[in-house]
A and B are shown apart, each in its own frame.
Chain A
Amino acid sequence: MASTTPDPTIASPRAPKAPPKTSQKPGLLARLFRAKARSGSGLPARKMIQVLVWARRLIQGGTFALFSWLLFHTAFRGSFASADTRVRLPLPVEGFLLADPFVAAMTLLSTHTVYRGLLWSVGLLALTLVVGRVFCGWICPFGTLHHLFGWIFPSRYGKGNKRVESNKTYARQRVKYYLLYFFLAAAVTGSAIGGIFDPICIAVRAIGLAVIPAAQYVATAINALVGLTGVRSLQVASDSGQDFLAGTVWQEKQFYFHQTWLVGSLFIAILFMNRFIPRFWCRVLCPLGAFLGLFARFALFGMEKDHSKCTDCNLCLVHCQGADSPQGGVKWRQDECHMCMNCENACPEDVIKFRFLPNRKSAITTPDTGRRTAIATAAAGAALLPVTRVADVIDANYDHRVIRPPGSVPEKEFLERCIRCAECMKVCPNNALHPAFFESGIEGMWTPILIPRIGYCEHSCVLCGQVCPTGAIQKITEEQKLGVGQKAISIGTAFYDLGRCLPWSMATPCIVCEEFCPTSPKAIWVEEADVPRRLPMASADGGDPKMETVHVQRPHVDPSLCIGCGACEKVCPVQDKPAVYVTSVGESRSKTNVILLENTDYNKS
């Protein structure tokens, strides 16, 4: 077994073609000792390769840490900046997405433009053209997770010879190409829905919206338990632990996300698949991997094999990440290879060699996909949009709950751009943005909608636009949002449910909504009124309850001033179904979703 093999529990098959014996377990020391010896001719791997393998592991750890760190910082944490400093995030937290060429390609096809920072994705493409799918093996944080789980997680069917078998190339690996064609065709017709399957989007969405909030939930519960012990020193330690985590990993308050059970369970399920097929996601489903695989054929760096030296020990296959046929006797699949170099590192003979400008005698460089299936899947992708559009949601029966973040482009363009990466939902300081479930149809699944009852849009905040990598939410300024010298950006309009409103129908003072209305002048104004109230008990003589007069202020919305931020809905004390609520109508991005005639006159500023 190779000295640098990460997992000493994987038995190394010594005899050619003989399955390793997993039943007989030598002691740890013996195994470690044996790991020093290599089977077959026992030629050690080139120093260069050993170094590269370790460099890869370091880079994998480093990029995963960087990814997590950026994700933890996809949140506004206050600073000592002066009162007038614009609130922006100091880090390019969406960096991994900007470097994602699948995202760039999708949005290029749907909008015919490459939005701002997405130009960085050309860099990743260039890297692929030089060294193949290095991104998958070395950089991708989601891939690293699968690498890790594939290593610590195999079932008893995933060890030894079974593992060798599972690491061979299978036809199922074509699926990711078909998915890619499907999503690219969907993009051509105007939907960036492929973001649902983009690995970086998945990592941000699942870790940001499910894993982190769940971890915080657990930590808070533990903290409460510690609080019950009544032991002062424990409580203080636990509180400062919480403070630390709130300042680094999550935030002061618990975040909740609409229907993220699905996001979370899919994430767990896909990680769990590593138990049966290592890196199932990367090999079978990942459209970004497929995209890079398409370009890997141009890579200048690759593998050469000397089949004659192969003893069929299959050591290369034990650690292969991409299932790309590194072993002797078959052709290497360049488009599948993650360039992890475990194979050359493990090979005890002199069969596998990575080098620049290799001969391609024993390499297949292009995906092994059937042309008809490819065309069929692309056609299916192109059919997606019409099929989802004739389902009513976008054109005919726009859902009032689809309140988009401020600065969003009009709905159809929005769907051309939004890759459902959840950056905006993660960054929103008020927990206002949520992944839509079916509110905007299947086509809008996991795009951001604002749910004011959970959190309202903070008046002076423009962070969601800052982090949006595709321009679905534009990078607006405070002046644009608040309407300094222009019309303020509105995302919807508030409505009163008079039958539930305390001053309107229960003769009880309230107007918390008016207090929180942030516009100036306020979009909520109050009408002073003296209203009758029936006392809740029979009168002294046993007759009908007496009446009294109460002074209340009854709130009204001025639809021309309301920006739809939802602060009123958030704070209304009528707990279950608030007496004031926001719907999307009146949003400034739409020319059709309007109430007031005056707002359809676009010549007026």
Chain B
Amino acid sequence: MPLRDLTRRELIQRLGAAGLVLGSAGAVARARWDHGAGAGPAAIDRAITRDFRLSSAPGDLPELVVAKNDTDPAALVRKAVEALGGMKRFISNQDIVVVKPNIGWDRTPIHAANTNPRVVAEVVRLCYDAGAKHVVVTDASCNEPNRCFQRSGIWKAAYDMGAEVILPATHRFRTMRLKGEVLDEWLVYTPLVNADKVINVPIAKHHNLAKYTAAMKNWYGSLGGRRNRLHQNIDVSIADLAQFIQPTLTIVDATRVLMRNGPQGGNVADAKDMHTVIATTDQVAADAYGCQLIGRTADEIPYLKMGHERGIGTMHWQTLRFKEV
């Protein structure tokens, strides 16, 4: 058959081009074919925990210290840390330290919903004095972060001490596998876990659902996503989180304590001056002791029992070497 005015060359070119397109389409389809049988990509089955605790605990030093009776929050922090063996015990030279206060709410210090800025500043100062290379202060707030960081007074106080204050930004959250009982995969706020040492500086307060919260609950601030769902099993999720992050040191601010309407408060009359700071390496004991400040006992608070049973710490703080200063 005559090929009309089509040359052989052009014929081959055209057939070749069509063949090439078909071939590549087929190759792509084959390579990316989901034949509907396989499961999704295999999950990484390794639980991630962040344990920043010291390995040694000298027998002559107390394990739980309560500093009292000083109206200067900074002095209370100093006394408490001193009694625990000084900040040098916890911070090594050139450490990158993350300090995690509670900066959850758009409230001013007098409302006692966020950690007292002077407590935070003093912790930062002690870290630098102990040789830390870099101190980061951050939290993933509940209310609008700029407002919380500014109005809590923590932004300025920490910055003045030379800390880097990081605001929670969307890109700072990465999905991690916590493998807890209720917390499996969750968005984790990365600046909190990328550190050599982590110091938890919560504030002690009433919580309408969990009754009392401070140290262990403070790790809610390490999560992103819709963490509001955690309330359905608040005790287990608190225990899960405390298992996920074990801080080097816990310093509970109880200089002024929210007695009612926690965790947000808002009424000055809801808070009461207590001039107390608790310092310990055991976050369960910190809360077991602390809950007494608002008239609770450890066995009334389920997450303490869970933390105890999981071996995160002890809810019987009386069994620890205790010192009051």
Give chain A nearest CB distance to B197 CB in angstroms: 20
- A76 within 8 Å of B (CB atoms): yes
- Chain A residues with CB under 8 A of B270: 520
A78 touches B149 (CB 8 A): yes
A84 touches B209 (CB 8 A): no
> When A and B form their complex, which 10 residue pairs have the shortest distance between CB atoms, in order from nearest?
A78-B146, A252-B169, A520-B266, A78-B150, A80-B156, A83-B108, A520-B267, A573-B229, A83-B153, A512-B228
Give chain A nearest CB distance to B234 CB in angstroms: 7
A430 to B145, CA, bound (A): 10
Instruction: Give the contacting residue for A509; candidates B147, B152, B226, B232; CB below 8 A.
Output: B232
Contact with A along B231-269 (1 / 0, CB 8 A): 111100000000000000000000000000101111100
With A83-B108, A460-B147, A553-B208 as contacts: A515 and B264 at CB distance below 8 Å? yes
A571 touches B228 (CB 8 A): yes
Give chain A nearest CB distance to B130 CB in angstroms: 25
Give chain A nearest CB distance to B247 CB in angstroms: 24
CB proximity to A under 8 Å, residues B148-176: 149-153, 155-156, 159, 167-172, 174
A79 touches B150 (CB 8 A): yes
With A458-B144, A460-B147 as contacts: A509 and B264 at CB distance below 8 Å? no
A180 to B225, CA, bound (A): 48
A444 to B168, CA, bound (A): 35
**Other A-B pairs beyond A78-B147, A458-B147, 19, CB < 8 Å:** A76-B144, A76-B147, A220-B170, A220-B171, A252-B145, A252-B169, A254-B170, A458-B143, A460-B106, A460-B151, A461-B144, A509-B233, A511-B209, A512-B231, A515-B208, A515-B231, A518-B264, A520-B267, A573-B229
Give chain A nearest CB distance to B110 CB in angstroms: 8
Give chain B nearest CB distance to A145 CB in angstroms: 28
Interchain Cβ contacts within 8 Å, total number:
114
Query: Taking CB as reference atom, which chain A residue is nearest B168?
Result: A252
B143 touches A515 (CB 8 A): no
B228 touches A459 (CB 8 A): no
CB proximity to B under 8 Å, residues A195-252: 220, 223-224, 227, 239, 242-243, 246, 252
- Chain B residues with CB under 8 A of A526: 208
A242 touches B264 (CB 8 A): no
A571 to B142, CA, bound (A): 10
- B109 within 8 Å of A (CB atoms): yes
- Chain A residues with CB under 8 A of B109: 83
Query: Taking CB as reference atom, which chain A residue is nearest B233?
Result: A509
B231 touches A510 (CB 8 A): yes
- Chain A residues with CB under 8 A of B171: 220, 223-224, 239, 242
A509 touches B209 (CB 8 A): yes
A253 touches B169 (CB 8 A): yes
The CB with the most chain B CB atoms within 10 A, among A83, A223, A573, is that of A83
Give chain A nearest CB distance to B103 CB in angstroms: 11
B228 touches A573 (CB 8 A): yes
CB proximity to B under 8 Å, residues A482-515: 502, 508-512, 514-515
- A425 within 8 Å of B (CB atoms): no
- Chain A residues with CB under 8 A of B149: 78
Give chain B nearest CB distance to A440 CB in angstroms: 26
Contact with A along B209-239 (1 / 0, CB 8 A): 1000000000000000010110111100000
Query: Taking CB as reference atom, which chain B residue is nearest A246?
Result: B169
Query: Taking CB as reference atom, which chain A residue is nearest B146?
Result: A78
With A227-B174, A510-B232, A573-B232 as contacts: A429 and B264 at CB distance below 8 Å? no
A84 touches B108 (CB 8 A): yes
- Chain B residues with CB under 8 A of A575: 226
A82 touches B226 (CB 8 A): no
CB proximity to B under 8 Å, residues A437-461: 458-461
The CB with the most chain B CB atoms within 10 A, among A224, A253, A511, is that of A253
- Chain B residues with CB under 8 A of A517: 264
- Chain B residues with CB under 8 A of A573: 226, 228-229, 231-232
A242 to B170, CA, bound (A): 10
Q: How large is the interface on B (under 10, 10 to 19, 20 to 34, 35 or more residues)?
A: 35 or more
- A77 within 8 Å of B (CB atoms): yes
CB proximity to A under 8 Å, residues B275-305: none
The CB with the most chain B CB atoms within 10 A, among A223, A254, A430, A516, is that of A516
Q: Which residues of A contact B (CB under 8 A)?
A: 76-84, 87, 220, 223-224, 227, 239, 242-243, 246, 252-254, 429-430, 458-461, 502, 508-512, 514-522, 526, 553, 571-573, 575
B145 touches A458 (CB 8 A): no
A554 to B267, CA, bound (A): 23
A520 to B146, CA, bound (A): 22
Give chain B nearest CB distance to A275 CB in angstroms: 32
B144 touches A430 (CB 8 A): yes
Instruction: Give the contacting residue for B167; candidates A78, A458, A512; CB below 8 A.
Output: A78
A511 touches B208 (CB 8 A): yes
A87 to B149, CA, bound (A): 12
B208 touches A87 (CB 8 A): no
Instruction: Give the contacting residue for A82; candidates B156, B167, B261, B265; CB below 8 A.
Output: B156
Give chain A nearest CB distance to B67 CB in angstroms: 24
With A459-B106, A573-B226 as contacts: A242 and B146 at CB distance below 8 Å? no
A292 to B208, CA, bound (A): 61
B146 touches A76 (CB 8 A): yes
With A83-B153, A509-B232, A511-B231 as contacts: A516 and B264 at CB distance below 8 Å? yes
A227 to B176, CA, bound (A): 13
- Chain B residues with CB under 8 A of A518: 106, 264, 266
The CB with the most chain B CB atoms within 10 A, among A220, A243, A459, A572, is that of A459
B231 touches A509 (CB 8 A): yes
Query: Taking CB as reference atom, which chain B residue is nearest A219?
Result: B171
Give chain A nearest CB distance to B139 CB in angstroms: 13
Query: Taking CB as reference atom, which chain A residue is nearest B269?
Result: A520
A135 to B69, CA, bound (A): 67
The CB with the most chain B CB atoms within 10 A, among A254, A509, A517, is that of A509
Query: Taking CB as reference atom, which chain B residue is nearest A227?
Result: B174
A87 touches B147 (CB 8 A): yes
A461 to B150, CA, bound (A): 13
What are some 25 contacts across the A-B interface (CB < 8 A)?
A: A78-B146, A78-B147, A80-B156, A83-B108, A83-B117, A83-B151, A239-B172, A252-B145, A252-B169, A252-B170, A429-B146, A429-B147, A458-B147, A461-B147, A508-B232, A509-B234, A510-B231, A510-B232, A515-B263, A518-B266, A520-B265, A521-B261, A553-B209, A571-B228, A573-B226
B167 touches A252 (CB 8 A): yes
Give chain A nearest CB distance to B138 CB in angstroms: 12
With A76-B147, A573-B232 as contacts: A516 and B142 at CB distance below 8 Å? yes
Query: Taking CB as reference atom, which chain A residue is nearest B190?
Result: A239
Query: Taking CB as reference atom, which chain B residue is nearest A432?
Result: B144
- Chain A residues with CB under 8 A of B153: 82-83
- Chain B residues with CB under 8 A of A243: 169
- Chain A residues with CB under 8 A of B145: 78, 252
Give chain B nearest CB distance to A299 CB in angstroms: 46
B150 touches A87 (CB 8 A): yes
A418 to B147, CA, bound (A): 27
- Chain B residues with CB under 8 A of A76: 144, 146-147
Query: Taking CB as reference atom, which chain A residue is nearest B268?
Result: A520
Give chain A nearest CB distance to B94 CB in angstroms: 18
- Chain B residues with CB under 8 A of A521: 261, 267
A522 touches B209 (CB 8 A): no
With A246-B169, A502-B232, A573-B228 as contacts: A80 and B106 at CB distance below 8 Å? no
Query: Taking CB as reference atom, which chain B residue is nearest A226?
Result: B171
- Chain B residues with CB under 8 A of A508: 232
CB proximity to A under 8 Å, residues B86-123: 106, 108-109, 117
